[in-house]
Every structure is written in structure tokens, then in C-alpha cells.
């Protein structure tokens, strides 16, 4: 089941209200700006007007991802950048990002978190999500590593050239035998790049756009060290690897 942004933010507010040192402040702030109806009651979302929840999030994190709307609104930006290519964002990923944002310093003067903390939260969530997915699909490491420091969206033939240069298909097949994991069915069946791309699209790590270019969503792109113009910046570090 896919979680909607309203449900994800409702979960965040529910978890905040469960914290004894935060509950009173949350209730007071919501009352002061007239949005108390958006707070979850007994673990359930209320029927508050659609404007109330975004208004509360803006009160604790600011309205924009920067000085103006040019960088996007916090309320829509966070779920978007934490979602896979099927537009799904897991609750664990969402909470991880906000927890990391709250831990990011320096603490903003008038907000609980700011846009810099949320960007760092996306980076931390990307790391956690890729590690989690790598446990279920050990072959993802081999497929993403050749894209390190490359820009997406990328032409299909350029992606395939990177995979060919790194011997990705043979690497996945040989590692699956050696390490005892199951290679993607489409790779086993076709043993070519098209089969691997189909497998990556199937698990929502890649998307094939209408113009034929291949994209990798931020939730996977950032930790994998893949670049995108205008996207969340990728920190420079050593070679990417999901698992030891």
C-alpha cells in the first residue's frame, strides 16, 4: 500500500505527539496558528481542511526549501525526494529523514528544522534505504556502481555502455553463484542489459521516461553518488558500495 503525503506527515505528527517533551509544545503551536484539527487523535488523522497540515509543517520547518518558492515547498519537496520511481515513500524512510534533519546542526533560530537539515535528512535516508534494499537485492550494488559521478537522466545507450564497460551482467551472474543469491529473473532469462534495466524498473530504482532517458530517484541516487543538475548535491567521498 502506497502512503500519501498527508498520511506520512500524519505519522510524523503522531510520533512527535508521543514524545513527552514535545507534546505540549506541539499542541500549543497548533492552537496558536489555528490548526489543532490537523493533529492526529488516538492514532487517527482527522478531517481537517487540506490547508491545516501544510501550515503546521511550515511552522516547524519553514514553507520553502530556501529563501523562496524557487527551491520548492517543504511539504511537497520532502515526500517527492524520498520516493522511488513508483512515487512510493516508505514510512521508515520518511521518519529517518526528519530525525536526521532534527539532529543536523546548527539548530535554526526560529524553526525546529530548516531546509539544510532536511537536505541532510534526504542524504541519510538515501543511505539507509539503499542498505535496506541491498539486503533484498544484492545485485543492486553491481548495477548502480558504474553510474557513480555520472549525470541522470541518462540516455539508454550511455547507461548500457557503462554497464558493458564494467561487465555488470557477468558480474551479477558470477556473484549470484558464488554468494548464493538469486539474480533477477530477467537477467537470468535474457542475460543482457535490457533485462537488467527491466529488473531495475520493476523494483522502482530506475524509471524509463517518455523521452527514452533513464532516471534514478533521489532516494537511491544520492547515496549511490549519481549526479543530477539541480538535485540534492552528492557529497564527495570514496567509491560507492552498498555492502562489504
In contact, 75 and 54? CB cutoff 8 Å = yes
Question: What's the pLDDT score for residue 237?
Answer: 59
Domain check: are 44 and 105 in the same one?
A: yes
Same-domain check for residues 83 and 171: no
Residues 104 and 24 in one domain: yes
Q: Is the Cβ–Cβ distance between 13 and 44 less than 8 Å? A: no
Both 90 and 159 in one domain: the answer is: no
What lies within 8 Å, CB to CB, of 113 at 6+ separation is: 60, 61, 98, 101, 102, 104, 121
- pLDDT of res. 184: 85
One domain, residues 105 and 40: yes
Domain that holds residue 199: 137-221
Print pLDDT tens along the chain (244 aa).
689 999 999 999 999 999 888 999 999 999 999 999 999 987 788 767 788 999 999 999 999 998 889 889 999 999 999 999 999 999 999 999 999 999 998 888 889 999 999 999 999 999 999 999 999 999 999 999 999 999 999 999 999 999 999 999 999 999 988 888 888 877 877 778 999 999 999 999 999 999 999 999 999 999 999 999 888 888 765 445 554 4
Q: Is residue 227 part of a domain?
A: no
- Cα–Cα distances in angstroms (integers) from residue 60 to residues 25, 26, 180, in the given order: 11, 9, 47
CA distance 16 to 19: 5
The answer on 66 and 92 residing in a single domain is yes
Task: Report the number of distinct structural domains present in the chain.
Answer: 2
**pLDDT, position 68:** 86
Looking at the structure, do residues 9 and 34 belong to the same domain, yes or no? yes
Report yes or no: 143 and 203 within 8 Å, Cβ to Cβ: no
d(CA 97, CA 78): 9
Is residue 156 domain-resident?
yes
Write the DSSP assignment of 215-234 as a string of letters. Answer: E--HHHHTTTT-B-TTSPPP
Instruction: Indicate if 146 and 187 belong to the same structural domain.
Output: yes
CA distance 216 to 219: 8
Alpha-carbon distance of 180 to 183, in angstroms, equals 9
My answer on whether 101 and 175 are in the same domain is: no
Amino acid at each position: 500500500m502506497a502512503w500519501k503525503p498527508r498520511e506520512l506527515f500524519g505519522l510524523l505528527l503522531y510520533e512527535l505527539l508521543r514524545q513527552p517533551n514535545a507534546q505540549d509544545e506541539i499542541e500549543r503551536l497548533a492552537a496558536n496558528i489555528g490548526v489543532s484539527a490537523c493533529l492526529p487523535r488516538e492514532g487517527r488523522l482527522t478531517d481537517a481542511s487540506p490547508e491545516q497540515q501544510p501550515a503546521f509543517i511550515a511552522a516547524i520547518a519553514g514553507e520553502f526549501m530556501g529563501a523562496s518558492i524557487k527551491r520548492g515547498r517543504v511539504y511537497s519537496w520532502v515526500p517527492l525526494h524520498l520516493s522511488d520511481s513508483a512515487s512510493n515513500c516508505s514510512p521508515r524512510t520518511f521518519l529517518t529523514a526528519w530525525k536526521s534533519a532534527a539532529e543536523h546542526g546548527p539548530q535554526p533560530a526560529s524553526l525546529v528544522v530548516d531546509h539544510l537539515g532536511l537536505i541532510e535528512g534526504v542524504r541519510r535516508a538515501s543511505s539507509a534505504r539503499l542498505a535496506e534494499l541491498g539486503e533484498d537485492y544484492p545485485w543492486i550494488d553491481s548495477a548502480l556502481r558504474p553510474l557513480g559521478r555520472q549525470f541522470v537522466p541518462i540516455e539508454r545507450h550511455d547507461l548500457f555502455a557503462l554497464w558493458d564497460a564494467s561487465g555488470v551482467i557477468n558480474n551479477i551472474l558470477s556473484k549470484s553463484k558464488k554468494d548464493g543469491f538469486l539474480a533477477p529473473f530477467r537477467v537470468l532469462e535474457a542475460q543482457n542489459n535490457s533485462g537488467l534495466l527491466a529488473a531495475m524498473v520493476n523494483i522502482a530504482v530506475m524509471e524509463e521516461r517518455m523521452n527514452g532517458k533513464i532516471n534514478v530517484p533521489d532516494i537511491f541516487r544520492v547515496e549511490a553518488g549519481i549526479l543530477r543538475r539541480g538535485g540534492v548535491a552528492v557529497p564527495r567521498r570514496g567509491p560507492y558500495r552498498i555492502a562489504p
